[in-house]
Structure 1
Amino acid sequence: MKKIISLIFLTSLVLNACSSDSDSPFTPENDALVKRITVTDDGTFYTDFFYNGKKIVKQIPQSSNPKYYTYTDDFITRIDTYDSDGMEIVGFETFTYDTSGRLLVYLQNVEPDNPVTFEHKIDFTYNTDNTVSCLWHGGFSGIFTDILGAAVIHLTDNEISSVDITPYSDGTDPGEPYTVLYNYDNNNNPFKNIIGFSQLNLVDAAEGESYGEVFGVDHNILTNGWFTADSSGTSSTTTYTYNSLSFPETSVKIMEGGPYPSTTTTYIYY
């Protein structure tokens, strides 16, 4: 009898071990975090993302400079860009918020070791009609004398639906205005679970298509395009495949008149 009981016990252990090895871990939808993004256009390049809980710590691109993130409470307040060896800071960005947690001021310093360095600064004003007014300045060592652009960001259901942008070509005179339009799917954005990350969208929107690219907050961009008053401009369309949690696994972006016929992106999650 003892031999039979021992045999049953050993068999149970083996079965449990096999079951544990074969079962794949389940990640709840609100815990999924993007691990690697690989982009293919004229070449193939990937970026890896690292976290502490749901706060992003760093992103390490395959062939460009790594970025390290600093939080104050649940808000990203600084991003440091290092040289390719990860030894020296070659640029940084800071983010200042109001008491309601809304982004007020964005500052980018591209040469921290230069005593007279050029800086970008964006001021954000929140209006009662669900829009955000932005003024983009340029200057040296904290003195901002040039206007680089102005924008009005339109928000719909927490997403940026359109941006009205007026560029300034010489720092004082406005150029030809244009509007950028965005449409989204109903699935999950790869970055939606990263704490504080959605505020970075406002910076990209304020800078316009020439500098930043809006990536969505909760959902993924299907179409976007920019148009001047006479409707001239360009547009793009993106198609996706999704995993079981409705996050993108792959996307193919086709840009009308762009430098590459299409851009393919793959996503891997923790």
Structure 2
Amino acid sequence: MKKIIFCLGFIAISLTSCSSDSDSSDGGSDGALVKKIVYTSITDEYSETVNYTYNGNKLVKGVYDYGAEEIYTYDGNLITKIELIEDGEVTYTETFTYDGSGRLLTYLVEEGPFTESETFTYNANGTVTCSGSSGLSTYTFENNELKQIARTTGEVYEYTYDGKNSPFRNVTGYDKIAHVAHGDHEFFGRNQNISTIQETTGDVAYMTNTMTYNANNYPLTVNSTAIFVGDGTYNATMQYTYY
């Protein structure tokens, strides 16, 4: 497996992501919602398109070009389940539970016989402890975004952002599950886009994203380079269309 796993891995397009204990942002002033994403792995010569539909600002469904559907379930304004349906069968499920303050408590992944879970503890100093099968990680937040992940195995990952709008900034409930799951390339924070991820203990520029934007500072394209120890460099692109 080439992806670096902080707590869990995910499928190639990771459009869900641990939450902080900060309140939600009010979102972008223009109310833009992402309509379509085209993901292309240049290294693996693979491309995938997903089109999204909404009920207001709640994400209802994503439809992939190969026919799969990604169905979102809400409880109030919180996303509680995401199901991937292929050929009429649920093949992948993510389940989220929250505390009374709307903070993410548990994250469960089910894919056939495979089951994996994460538990989140909110510390007095503002950090969040993530406990999963890969061990413990401490998440540090700054300006409402994930700033650092420190693993008990010694690795430390530092995040920087572009100061622009994430494509999912206005999607109800998205900020609560941001940074839960990580794929081969990471693109989105809670409200902004990830510019770099530096593995500081090994001095590795694990992830670098270069973006272009529309007039409202939402990304139109991303060129992403990921470096995986022992597996080399991987390149991918993302293209966005908005309502």
Whether TM-score is above 0.5 comes out as: yes
- Between the aligned partners of 2:127 and 2:121, the Cα distance in structure 1 is 9
- Between the aligned partners of 1:212 and 1:121, the Cα distance in structure 2 is 21
2:83 maps to which residue?
80
2:206 maps to which residue?
235
Deviation of 1:107 (Å): 1.3
8 Å CA contact 1:133–1:153 kept in 2: the answer is yes
2:63 maps to which residue?
60
8 Å CA contact 2:160–2:195 kept in 1: the answer is yes
**Percent identity (aligned):** 34
Which structure has more relative contact order (CA 8 Å, sep 6+)? It is 2
- Between the aligned partners of 1:65 and 1:163, the Cα distance in structure 2 is 32
Deviation of 1:161 (Å): 0.7
Residue 156 to residue 64, structure 1, CA distance change in 2 (3 Å): farther
Q: How does 1:159-178 map to 2 (within 5 A)?
A: 159-166=145-152, 176-178=153-155
What is the TM-score of this pair, normalised by structure 2? 0.78
Q: How does 1:114-125 map to 2 (within 5 A)?
A: 117-125=113-121
8 Å CA contact 2:63–2:69 kept in 1: the answer is yes
- Between the aligned partners of 1:238 and 1:93, the Cα distance in structure 2 is 26
Q: What's the Cα RMSD here?
A: 2.3
Q: Which structure shows the bigger proportion of residues in helix conformation?
A: 1
Bigger radius of gyration:
1
1:90 maps to which residue?
91
Instruction: Return 5+ residue gaps in structure 1 as ranges.
Output: 1-27, 112-116, 137-146, 167-175
Instruction: Return 5+ residue gaps in structure 2 as ranges.
Output: 1-27
Tell me the matched-pair count. Answer: 211
8 Å CA contact 2:34–2:168 kept in 1: the answer is yes
Residue 200 to residue 70, structure 1, CA distance change in 2 (3 Å): same
- Between the aligned partners of 2:167 and 2:52, the Cα distance in structure 1 is 11
What is the TM-score of this pair, normalised by structure 1? 0.71
8 Å CA contact 1:67–1:81 kept in 2: the answer is yes
